[in-house]
Amino acid sequence: MSQLALELQEEFKKRFPFAEVYEHNKRRLYITIPKDKLMPVAEFLYKEKGLRLSIATGIDTRDGFEIIYHFSHDATGTYFNIKIFVSKEDPKVDSLTRIFQASNWIEREIYELLGIEFIGHPNLKPLLTSDDWPKDQYPLTRDYE
Amino acid sequence: MSKRIVPIGPYHPLQEEPEFFKLIVEGETVVDIEINIGYNHRGHEFLSPSLTYDQIPFLVERICGICSNSHPLAFVLAVEDMAHIKVPERALYIRTIVHELERIHSHLLWIGLAGHFIGYNTIWMWAWRYREPVLDLFEMITGNRNHYAMNKVGGVRRNIYHDQISHIEKVLDLVESKVSMLTKAVLDDPVLHARLKGIGILSKEAAISYGVVGPTARASGVAIDVRKDDPHCAYDKVEWDIVVEEAGDIFAKAKVRLLECFESIKIIRQCLKNLPDTPIEIRIEELPAGEGIGRTEAPRGEVFHYIRGNGSHHPVRHKVRAPSYMNLPSNEVTVKGHSIADAALCLAAIDPCYCCTERVAVFEDGKLKYTWNDLLLFSWKKTEQIRARLRK
């Protein structure tokens, strides 16, 4: 891992000691954080360190929803994958649209495919599915038939 | 002045997939835009977990008809990242060659259509004329002019043979001289300067906030390129430069794409010269559980694939992100304040694909007001006016 990426990783660990960091290889870090810490982490990565939100992946697992925010550190080619867990009983997360525009469509897509609500999103309506798609059916959930 | 709505789409001629732009105009000026997508949502992320790792490259290849090498490449990179697979050197070089050939044909396609939109059909003819030999190269190397099916987990499916190399080099010489002529013609033309400079500007700040990628970002002064930032294939073994422009307008975007063709030619020449003599694939016995990320620089920007496997033959989650997904929302910024004559060009400047049916119609009081051809004519008329003014 390049020096710059190492420094960034160290600073991240110091700033957010609760984060569990797993290094898959030198350019792919998977970092698990509690969901209420998403906002400060995203602000740190985007505003202070200039990382770019590449995309977010929503996954329906046995234990609940998982959202991975893939932040790209282009100077070192490193991906900081920030993982949060969202319970199925209360599928709500803070929207990142307050920080950057990039998350607008990304959150709309996760909302329509998994049913996770993003609090504070300016225009949370379906992006890809057709207008007559049933309201309470989310095609990427495990119980969808 | 009252506001009117000019709908472009849903079967939009400028986009890779049918899309719908609702232009809100005051007189001639676009004041707002609403973008709707999803008319061609084919559910790849839903389909993919039902297929095996060997079948998925053929599925994701069909996401895009123009840059059909980028998605399978990003996918196999993701699987190789998940399983820590080391691919033989020759395969890396062949992947690079095919990927760069694709960039040349895609950029030539864009520059041709951009020429067509502003009434420079000569550019269109020339660019497409010399895109053909590149497509013929694909047919020779891969067996197909499009949908090359070259990538597989652990290598590539077809070799490049010794007697093909001289032919590829010959075609590259031809394409280079013609693109060079085209570049000079475009960059020196005062009408094109007047028509494209200062139009559809995406500022650096907006580019960063919208997270745009590829030539759209590089034309706005954001120097990102996956090939440099996160070297894969053989990109760290050859000499080449990133093309960055600061202006952020359509002229800068055109310039970036034209100059990138030369970088691609440079990369291919070096790869052909140094093609290592190794096998082109390794046999993968089994794939472990885990997560992997693959990304590569498609002609339009970064393609991103995320894979999660559970040790079986199928992934449990496969996330795909194409570059236009990030670039499209930035049209909210670029198109505002411009006339309808410029709107078609602004929307096209991020280089969406053009393979869809051309069908645009503007209705007023229930009657057909103008069609896509009329929009084209508006654009051509503006170029003509500028040309006439400059002649004086």
Q: In this structure, what CATH number is given to the domain that contains residue A35?
A: 3.30.460.80
- Reported as a single tens digit per residue, the pLDDT across B325-374 is 888 888 888 888 888 878 877 777 776 643 322 323 344 444 555 666 77
Query: Measured between CA atoms, how close is B79 to chain A, in angstroms?
Result: 13
My answer on whether B318 and B198 are in the same domain is yes
Could you tell me if the ipTM is greater than 0.90? yes
For residue B380, being part of any structural domain is answered with yes
The domain boundary, picked from B297, B325, B353, lies at B325
| Between B19 and B104, the higher pLDDT residue | B104
What is the nearest CA distance from A116 to chain B, expressed in angstroms?
17
Considering its fold, how many domains does chain A have in total?
A: 1
Kindly state whether residue B331 falls inside one of the protein's structural domains: no
Same domain membership, residue B279 and residue B383: no
Q: Minimal CA–CA distance to B330: which of B223, B219, B242? A: B219
Q: What is the mean pLDDT of residues A100-126?
A: 90
- Provide the percentage of residues in chain A whose pLDDT is more than 90: 61
Note whether residue A74 is domain-resident. yes
B209 close to A (CB below 8 A): yes
- Hey, is the C-beta of B308 within 8 angstroms of any chain A C-beta? yes
Query: pLDDT tens-digit profile of B306-315?
Result: 999 999 999 9
pLDDT of residue B28: 83
Please tell me whether residues B204 and B306 are part of one structural domain. yes
Average pLDDT over residues B203-209: 92
Q: Is residue B330 part of a domain?
A: no
Residues B131 and B90 in one domain: yes
Residue B255: inside a domain: yes
Among the residue ranges A54-63, A119-128, B339-348, the one predicted with the least confidence is B339-348
Q: Which residue has the higher pLDDT, B388 or A64?
A: A64
pLDDT at residue A60, as a whole number:
92
Distance from CA of B357 to the nearest CA of A (A): 20
> How many structural domains are present in chain B?
2
What pLDDT digit, counting tens, does each position of B269-316 carry? 999 999 999 999 999 888 999 999 999 999 989 999 999 999 999 999
* Cβ <8 Å between A28 and B293: yes
What is the rounded CA–CA span in Å between residue B47 and residue B219?
35
Q: What does each C-alpha distance from A6 to A78, B138, B333 come to in angstroms?
A: 10, 41, 36
Range in A89-98, B14-23, B339-348 with the lowest mean pLDDT: B14-23
Q: Answer yes or no: do B283 and B222 share one domain.
A: yes
Question: Does the residue B81 lie in any domain?
Answer: yes
Same domain, B18 and B99: no
- Chain A residues within 8 A of B37 when measuring between CB atoms: 127-128
Q: Provide the whole-model pTM.
A: 0.90
Q: SS3 breakdown of chain A: % helix, strand, coil, rounded to 5?
A: 25, 30, 40
Which one of A63, A83, A101 makes the best mutation probe of the B interface by having the most chain B beta carbons within 10 Å? Answer: A101
What number is the average pLDDT over the span B6-25? 70
B211 contact residues in A (CB cutoff 8 A): 52-54, 100-102
Q: Quickly tell me which residue has 């200039």 as its tokens.
A: A50
Picking from B291, B298, B74, the residue whose alpha carbon sits closest to that of residue A81 is B291
Q: B11 and B60 share a domain?
A: no
Q: What is the pLDDT of residue B160?
A: 93
Range of the domain at A86: 3-95
Beta carbons of A28 and B81 less than 8 Å apart: yes
Coil, strand or helix at A136: coil
The pLDDT assigned to A1 comes to: 61
Q: Are B241 and B341 part of one and the same domain?
A: no
What's the average model confidence in pLDDT over A3-32? 91
- Give the rounded percent of residues in chain B with a pLDDT score beyond 70: 92
Q: Return the closest-CA partner of residue A86 out of A45, A32, A30.
A: A32
Partnered with residue B291 across adjacent β-strands are: B308
Q: Give me the mean pLDDT over the B128-132 stretch.
A: 92
Which of B291, B325, B359 is where one domain is finished? B325
Contact across the interface for B293 and A70, Cβ inside 8 Å: yes
Contact B210 A52 (CB under 8 A): no
Residues B34 and B59 in one domain: no
**What residue numbers bound the domain in which B79 lies?**
44-325
Q: Nearest C-alpha of chain B: how many angstroms from A53?
A: 7
